[in-house]
Amino acid sequence: MTNSRAALQTEESKEIKNPVKAIRAFCIDCCGGSSNEVKLCTAPKCALYPFRLGKNPYRTKRVMTDEQRAEAAERLAKARQNKQNA
pLDDT digits (tens, 9 = 90+) for 22-77: 999 999 999 999 999 999 999 999 999 999 999 999 999 889 999 999 999 999 99
d(CA 14, CA 40): 26
Asked if residue 41 lies in contact with residue 31, where contact means CB atoms within 8 angstroms, the answer is yes
Asked if residue 42 lies in contact with residue 8, where contact means CB atoms within 8 angstroms, the answer is no
The amino acid at residue 69 is R
d(CA 13, CA 6): 10
pLDDT average, residue stretch 10-31: 82
Q: What are phi and psi of 28, to 5 degrees?
A: -65, -40
d(CA 31, CA 82): 46
Give the pTM: 0.58
